[in-house]
Structure 1
Amino acid sequence: MTEATYPPLDIPKPVAQDLWVVDSGPMRAMGVIPIPVRMTVVRLASGEILLHSPTRHLPQLQAALESLGPIRHLVAPNIVHWTFLKEWQTQLPGALTWAAPGLRQRGTVKRSGVRLDRDLHEGPLPDWPEELDRIIVPGGGGFREIALFHRPSRSLILVDLVLNFEPEKLPFPLRPFARAMGITAPDGKAPAYLRAVVRMGGSRACEAGRRLLATNPERVIFAHGKWFDRDAGARLERSLRWLTR
């Protein structure tokens, strides 16, 4: 089977001025399906580093990131992408951890002992980097995904609202299923269960989707699969038709 991930792994790879990705994994969906996972790294105007959806911690990765600037912000953007936070917090006790609203109320989060310092609610937030716009995409059952728009590079940063798997990187028996679900390249989208959850957010979710499109990004980075490095605005519009129409 072709490796599911996007090597080289666990190193910062530049994609734009003050913007990097760190590819990692594979993680095992449902315990068996190998999927790639990705962190986005932003160097702020202050020179500080923000990690969006941190992947696994490795000493050499931390050292590489700290060569770019001091790591001062960790972001848990939805109810799934928080599981590596504690590893980073142990090594970086002074970093501020930002979380999707409602994450701290979840039982698994409480039991994990992870520290969540600030909730990423709407409106002004003290200490939040001014060059990063927040778009909160709501859904049912307390779901929220916090999308970030990095204005200097015109980059939209998501996690699960777009999945864009390359079929050749999936186990052969799963390829027809992934194609049927619409989560394969070149213009993947959210999986069916997540589309159902987000649609429960009603008009607020639809408006958030339109706000994502209105950023007209030069690139769209997300956690799983091949991110949109060209024709990003048009590809995002096709990926989000289930939400915005």
Structure 2
Amino acid sequence: MLKEFGANIWIAEGPTVTAAAGFRYGTRMAVIRLTNSNLVLWSPTALSDDLRAAVETLGAVRYLVPPNSLHHTFLGDWQRAYPDATVYAPPGLREKRKDIRFDADFSDGPIAAWAGEIDHAIMWGNRITTEVVFFHRQSGTAIFTDLVQQFPRGWFKGWRALVARLDLLTAAEPTVPRKFRVAFTDRRAARESLRRILAWPTEKVIVAHGPPITEEGQAFLRRVFRWLGD
């Protein structure tokens, strides 16, 4: 149900969902426990009684974090389960989900409640979605959503398998899909965001769609984003 990924950080695998054009994606959430035992839930996946019970053994759910305007399918269920939790809106999601009560918006500034424990950087300049990338200091873990992906060969069938290969979704290691590379129309803003991300002492990397990176995380990120240039 919940798998420990490092000191005070856990991941949970959710169900497979079908997106546009019938492409199937697995879902994954992360749970971070702050020093005061409050919990930050990143990209909440499908809520179940078992998952809820497992999460509540770790601490009190205080923050719900959808990391971009694409990862919000199950957010309403978690807000109904934890109505007192603070919900942060990434750029673009507040307008998309009028049914969700958002309590605050992500900006380039730090979140006071997490200061010293979780850093974040907004990856500006992309026309598909504006992703908020997180860094959990205690475990040395950077957390990406859709900007870095990898699917096993055979995951997609038929014409979708060809599209996935051309989009680099089935590359040898997790990488930035081609459609996201093309969608970075403001490269200067993207590079400035990336500089903040590469300054983190990243040891491990969690991605929503792909295997986690468990060592040499900073070197991995430099390799993955080399195409963006200096």
Distance change (3 Å), C-alpha of 1:28 and 1:42: same
- SS of the equivalent of 1:60 reads helix
Match of 1:63, SS state, is helix
CA distance in 1, matches of 2:6, 2:121: 21
2:198 equivalent in structure 1: 213
| C-alpha separation in 2, matches of 1:116 and 1:142 | 21
The corresponding residue for 1:71 is 61
1:40: Cα distance to partner?
Answer: 1.1
Cα offset, 1:173, TM superposition: 5.2
Match of 2:106 in 1: 120
Give the match's secondary structure for 1:183: coil
For 1:207 and 1:143, the matched residues in 2 are separated by 17
| 1:102/1:30 CA distance change after superposition, 3 Å | closer
Q: 1:173 to 1:143 in 2, by over 3 A?
A: closer
Match of 2:135 among 149, 155, 160: 149
Percent identity reads: 35
Report if aligned partners of 2:64, 2:85 keep a CA contact under 8 Å in 1.
yes
Deviations for 1:103-138, whole angstroms, at most 9, x for unmatched residues? 21x2x312xx11111111122444344310111101
Q: Is 1:226 the equivalent of 2:172? A: no
Which stretch of structure 1 is more off in the superposition, 87-96 or 163-172?
A: 163-172
Paired residues of 2:61 and 2:85 also in contact (CA < 8 A): yes
State TM-score, norm by structure 2: 0.91
Structure 1's 221 and 211: CA in aligned 2 closer, same or farther, altered over 3 A?
same
> TM-score w.r.t. structure 1 length?
0.86
SS of equivalent residue, structure 1 residue 79? coil
Post-superposition CA distance 1:151-201 (Å, at most 9, x none): 11110011011011121433365444323322225423232222222x223
Q: Structure 2 CA distance, aligned partners of 1:124 and 1:85?
A: 22
Task: Tell me, in whole angstroms, the C-alpha distance in 1 between the residues paired with 2:13 and 2:21.
Answer: 20
Contact 2:116 2:137 in 1 (8 A): no
Q: Secondary structure at the match of 1:190?
A: coil
Whole-Å Cα distance in 1 between the matches of residues 38 and 83 of structure 2? 15
1:66-215 correspondence runs (5 A): 66-104=56-94, 106=95, 108-110=96-98, 113-141=99-127, 143-171=129-157, 174-197=160-183, 199-215=184-200
Which blocks of at least 5 consecutive residues in structure 2 are unaligned? Answer: none
Aligned-partner SS, 2:218: helix
Q: Which runs of 5 or more residues in structure 1 are unaligned?
A: 1-10
Give 1:31 deviation, angstroms: 5.0
Deviation at 1:238, TM superposition (A): 2.0
